[in-house]
A and B are shown apart, each in its own frame.
Chain A
Amino acid sequence: MTIQTQALPKLAVWKFASCDGCQLTLLNCEDELMALAGEVQIAYFPEATRAVVEGPYDVSLVEGSVTTPEEIERIGQVREMSRNVVTIGACATSGGIQALRNFGDIAEFRSVVYAHPEYLSTLARSTPISAHVDVDFELRGCPINKHQLLEVLAAYIQRRKPRIPTYSVCVECKRRGAVCVAVANGTPCLGPVTQAGCGALCPAFARGCYGCFGPQDSPNTAAMSDRLISLGMADDEVMRIYRTFNAASEPFRRESERHEPARDEEALT
């Protein structure tokens, strides 16, 4: 029998503005959880356990975006007590679906949605974690992919570089032998401008890609939009197809704004 001479690396899991789906991806690693528990000390993970081991932490997984002043302060604290910060999911890496607020008027949303908006302290924009602190690795996806998460965790445990490709979803589509839905069926698909990671899940089920993993490393979004329009999409539809989970990622934000309809007030006056 070998005696554990070195302490296991301490893993913490933090939540900011998010739906918890990416944390659930970790809990859904049912077959691998025991192996993971043997390689790391799960030191802070309120979604899984109330037991808390004090920091500092070797790896902090951070889910969610920053949407309140309190979160700006808290992410600074997380950074201070973490050797490595790995952000997980579209919220943490690009601001998430809640970054749709970035295109609107937050005061107006607040007054319409909440009975007592004065109780609310919120920011005008939803921003990724990297807008506030240094991030060691960003894992994309809405939600993240289980196999990619395990690869990133294994990489940090073994102190090597994570093997997470930044090419398009089309690579995964072709590798799995799926037929291109855009070419063979005229289905609008964001696959060519979207980063791989999901295993081409939607195209394999005859749906176009929704862009859950954000822009690939060389996203030619202008050419993509021209193709979407040639497949019959209207300008406002093109705007909306970029405005989902990664609406605030730079290439998708820029492209969506190119397809904004003329504002109603301007049209009326």
Chain B
Amino acid sequence: MDAEMRVLDLLGLQGLIDTLRARGYAVVGPTVRDGAIVHAPIATIDDLPRGWGDDQDAAHYRLRRRADDALFGFAAGAQSPKPVLFPAEELIWRGRRTGEEFTVNEDGAERAGDEGPYALLGVRSCDLHALAIHDVVLLGRDHVDVRYAARRAGAFVVAVTCTAPGGTCFCASMGTGPRPDAGYDLALTELLDDGPHRFLVEVGTPRGEEVLAEVPTTSAPAHDVRAADDAVAWSVAHMGRTLDTDGIKEVLYANAESPRWDDVASLCLACTNCTLVCPTCFCTSVEDVADLTGDVAERRRVWDSCFSEDFSYIHGGAIRPEIRSRYRQWITHKLASWQDQFGMSGCVGCGRCITWCPAAIDITAEAAALRWTPQPAAGRS
């Protein structure tokens, strides 16, 4: 939308939170817990990680104090909004047996909207792109995830430009950031220099405009618009990682039998962490549970992972018994076959799979190594 840009000060940001809450939204945003930035309900700007930054590298995450009072001065947190809209575990239905009868008396889809609607505050551009991917994967196919649909339809998104990219970030390589370009109701860019602590606001939807009208803002002066552009340029220049996407699909497909898979398998713990922190990974299992009497039965949808041996189990055994096949499956899906399946990359460059891999495996390093690894056939003369 081409609405005029506005400026919001700290009181204005509190006003935005108040307005969203008054409109019935459950506001969820970043906060500090257990040494990391995590998502939690936000009631006031004091709940936000004021003055906190982070250091991120492969298998390494540490919060650190910043020299300023930035509220969004950190890179990707421990999780994207994925657990909010696509929870780790949810009820599909619950039924009860009475005599010879069986009735479904709780439908998960009916409950899916109960906690919300959500207002997601502080969504980074990488995670915004991940939401767009989930919209295609979970809503755009023959079988819609009705529970995700219920949460997503009502969700209000306040995006924030990433002005403090981390050591494992590479959204600039993936074309997914750092400035939010679509998919938000409102987008903020935090400005701390040359004036009071303030936020440049861009409006993305009529709904966003309507909400913003209830919040005290001022017209954005040209130097604030420039300052936001400068912050974005600085961010792009300070990405910790890069990934060369040129022909990446062909690189992955050509390397199906690369010896590199054995190298990475020697490090990989098959712990599943990369997939569970990935904002686009969507693999789940459906579990049926019954109580001791067998009178109450439930069907639940739970997060699963291609790194679990059991995940590929079919009659007779697992399709991917070796860790090398699981890593190959994951990175090939993420960077290559996702393109064939959904017409887009499955990676948004948030860097979480690198930071939260306890074995320090780096998707950008693996992709680069595969690009330069001679193929087995070509390598032997």
Contact across chains for B34 and A150 when beta carbons are under 8 A apart: no
Instruction: Name which residue of chain B comes closest to A189, CB basis.
Output: B358
* Residues in A212-256 with C-beta less than 8 Å from chain B: 216-218, 220, 222-224, 226-227
Rounded to whole angstroms, the CA-CA distance of A218 and B359 in the bound complex is 15
Contact across chains for B34 and A178 when beta carbons are under 8 A apart: yes
B260 at the interface (CB under 8 A from A): no
* Residues in A163-196 with C-beta less than 8 Å from chain B: 163, 165-168, 170-171, 174-180, 182-185, 189, 191-193
**How many A-B contacts if CB must be within 8 Å?**
130
Contact across chains for B290 and A223 when beta carbons are under 8 A apart: no
| Nearest CB of chain A from residue B52's CB, rounded to whole Å | 13
A151 at the interface (CB under 8 A from B): yes
Contact across chains for B289 and A151 when beta carbons are under 8 A apart: yes
Contact across chains for A39 and B292 when beta carbons are under 8 A apart: yes
Contact across chains for B38 and A174 when beta carbons are under 8 A apart: no
Q: Within 8 Å CB of B304, what residues of A?
A: 171
Rounded to whole angstroms, the CA-CA distance of A217 and B38 in the bound complex is 30
B33 at the interface (CB under 8 A from A): yes
A35 at the interface (CB under 8 A from B): yes
Rounded to whole angstroms, the CA-CA distance of A198 and B171 in the bound complex is 36
B64 at the interface (CB under 8 A from A): no
| Nearest CB of chain A from residue B33's CB, rounded to whole Å | 7
Contact across chains for A184 and B38 when beta carbons are under 8 A apart: no
| Nearest CB of chain A from residue B181's CB, rounded to whole Å | 29
Rounded to whole angstroms, the CA-CA distance of A180 and B60 in the bound complex is 10
Q: Within 8 Å CB of A177, what residues of B?
A: 38, 79, 83, 88
* Residues in B254-295 with C-beta less than 8 Å from chain A: 265-273, 276-277, 287-294
Interface residues as binary, A3-21 with B (CB distance below 8 Å gives 1, 0 otherwise): 0000000000000000000
Q: Which of A45-53, A101-109, A152-160 contacts B (4 or more CB under 8 A)?
A: A152-160
Interface size class of A (residues with CB under 8 A): 35 or more
Rounded to whole angstroms, the CA-CA distance of A165 and B309 in the bound complex is 10
Contact across chains for B271 and A191 when beta carbons are under 8 A apart: yes
Rounded to whole angstroms, the CA-CA distance of A263 and B276 in the bound complex is 43
Interface residues as binary, B22-34 with A (CB distance below 8 Å gives 1, 0 otherwise): 0000000000011
Rounded to whole angstroms, the CA-CA distance of A54 and B305 in the bound complex is 46
Q: Given that A218-B309, A220-B323 are contacting pairs, would A153 and B292 also be in contact in the complex, using a CB cutoff of 8 Å?
A: yes
Contact across chains for B79 and A184 when beta carbons are under 8 A apart: no
Contact across chains for B269 and A174 when beta carbons are under 8 A apart: no
Rounded to whole angstroms, the CA-CA distance of A171 and B271 in the bound complex is 7
Contact across chains for A168 and B34 when beta carbons are under 8 A apart: no
A136 at the interface (CB under 8 A from B): no
A38 at the interface (CB under 8 A from B): yes
Contact across chains for A170 and B276 when beta carbons are under 8 A apart: yes
B302 at the interface (CB under 8 A from A): yes
Rounded to whole angstroms, the CA-CA distance of A206 and B355 in the bound complex is 18
Q: Within 8 Å CB of A168, what residues of B?
A: 269-272, 308
Contact across chains for B358 and A220 when beta carbons are under 8 A apart: no
Q: Within 8 Å CB of B269, what residues of A?
A: 168, 192-193, 220, 223-224, 227
A123 at the interface (CB under 8 A from B): no
Rounded to whole angstroms, the CA-CA distance of A226 and B269 in the bound complex is 11
Contact across chains for A180 and B305 when beta carbons are under 8 A apart: no
Q: Within 8 Å CB of A184, what residues of B?
A: 34-36, 61-62, 78
| Nearest CB of chain B from residue A32's CB, rounded to whole Å | 6
Interface residues as binary, B351-374 with A (CB distance below 8 Å gives 1, 0 otherwise): 000011011100000000000000
Rounded to whole angstroms, the CA-CA distance of A150 and B38 in the bound complex is 33
Q: Within 8 Å CB of A175, what residues of B?
A: 88-89, 276, 302-303
A26 at the interface (CB under 8 A from B): no
Contact across chains for B292 and A35 when beta carbons are under 8 A apart: yes
Q: Which of A177, A179, A183 has the most B CB atoms < 10 Å from its CB?
A: A183
Q: Within 8 Å CB of B68, what residues of A?
A: none
B59 at the interface (CB under 8 A from A): yes
Contact across chains for B273 and A218 when beta carbons are under 8 A apart: no
Contact across chains for B35 and A185 when beta carbons are under 8 A apart: yes
A72 at the interface (CB under 8 A from B): no
Contact across chains for B289 and A163 when beta carbons are under 8 A apart: yes
B310 at the interface (CB under 8 A from A): yes
Rounded to whole angstroms, the CA-CA distance of A222 and B61 in the bound complex is 23
Q: 5 closest pairs, A vs B, by CB?
A: A192-B271, A174-B276, A192-B269, A175-B88, A167-B308
CB pairs A–B below 8 angstroms (21 shown): A35-B293, A158-B290, A158-B294, A166-B308, A167-B305, A170-B273, A175-B88, A175-B302, A178-B34, A180-B61, A180-B78, A183-B358, A184-B34, A192-B270, A193-B269, A206-B34, A216-B270, A220-B265, A220-B266, A223-B268, A227-B359
Q: Given contacts A168-B270, A176-B88, A220-B269, could you give 18 more A-B pairs where the C-beta distance is less than 8 Å?
A: A32-B292, A36-B292, A150-B292, A151-B289, A154-B290, A154-B294, A163-B288, A166-B310, A168-B271, A171-B308, A174-B277, A182-B59, A184-B36, A192-B270, A192-B271, A222-B266, A223-B267, A227-B59
